[in-house]
Amino acid sequence: MAGRFEGKQALVLGVANQRSIAWAIAKRLADEGAAVAFTYQGERIEKNVRDLAASVSSPLVTECDVRSDDDVARVFSEVSDTFGGGLDILVHSVAFAAAEDLEGRFVDTPRDRFWMAVDISAYSLVACSRAAEPLMEARGGGSIVTMTYLGGERAVPHYNVMGVAKATLDASVRYLAWDLGFKNIRVNAISAGPVRTLAARSIAGFTTMQTMFEERAPLHRQIESDDCGAAAAYLLSDDAANVSGTTLYVDAGYHAMGM
């Protein structure tokens, strides 16, 4: 549906390269008329993000360390300046855990790396939603979407501390939906099946996970980032005006299976 996001202003966090789920969502928004701003984390991926942003005529590309309250405040100040004080859409596709914590046993996760994973992967949604709130209120409401995974509900070998972080993220979505609903701001999550992204490469046994997924999912097929882009476009659009606090599974039905 062309033009669904005409006149809308969006901020997308978490693009790393053209295979990122966040990029699939951002491109879908831009293709349907939204002005899309981007953040990136670190010099290593800056050029990738800037090149992708340029391809959709982005008005803003800025660095953001989501563990820094000052950095989050600066980013949303820049977004406010760029978009005239308003924001309609926030896409949060940010997660991180140390590689060594995605290989061994969860019980061996050290305290500092446990809190790092939760801070980056879950609390960052809270911090960014709080910063987005006045900008969305100025536009009469808005929509926020984050990316989660079934490992937050069930134990997935090698997902470990990231699963705990996703469980925290899932609960945060529900509480944010309640808090922000009074201002017509919706908060939802997409739970995707395994997609071969930069982040997925750090999970031990990911290829085996994909094979098992295709065997056991009711639709017996893999998930692509564009599938998530389409689902996010629905949740972020007015088509989902009465959908909030919800997790939408984009996993070929895998979550419905018992084994």
Does residue 123 sit within a domain? yes
- For residue 259, the SS3 value is coil
Does residue 2 sit within a domain? no
Which of 17, 15, 55 is CA-nearest to residue 38?
A: 15
Pairing of strands 185-192, 142-148: parallel
Q: What CATH number should be reported for the domain holding residue 182?
A: 3.40.50.720
CA 159 from centre of chain: 17
Number of domains in the chain: 1
Does residue 53 sit within a domain? yes
Does residue 28 sit within a domain? yes
pTM, entire model: 0.94
Question: For residue 203, what are the domain limits?
Answer: 9-249
Which of 74, 44, 67 is CA-nearest to residue 118?
A: 67
Is residue 203 over pLDDT 70?
A: no
Active site residue 159: yes
Does residue 55 sit within a domain? yes
Which of 185, 66, 171 is CA-nearest to residue 128?
A: 66
Does residue 82 sit within a domain? yes
40, 149, 175, 254: which one is catalytic? 149
DSSP notation for 65-124: -TT-HHHHHHHHHHHHHHTTT---EEEE------GGGGTS-GGG--HHHHHHHHIIIIIH
pLDDT, tens only, 225-245:
999 999 999 999 999 999 999
Pair 257, 214: CB distance under 8 Å: no
40, 123, 159, 234: which one is catalytic? 159
Q: What is the pLDDT of residue 258?
A: 85
Does residue 254 sit within a domain? no
Using a 10 angstrom Cβ sphere, with 0-12 exposed, 13-18 middle and 19 or more buried, the burial of residue 131 is buried
Does residue 119 sit within a domain? yes
pLDDT, tens only, 109-160:
999 999 999 999 999 999 999 999 999 999 999 999 999 999 999 998 889 9
- Indicate the pLDDT class of residue 50, thresholds 50, 70 and 90: very high
pLDDT, tens only, 92-114:
999 999 999 998 899 999 999 99
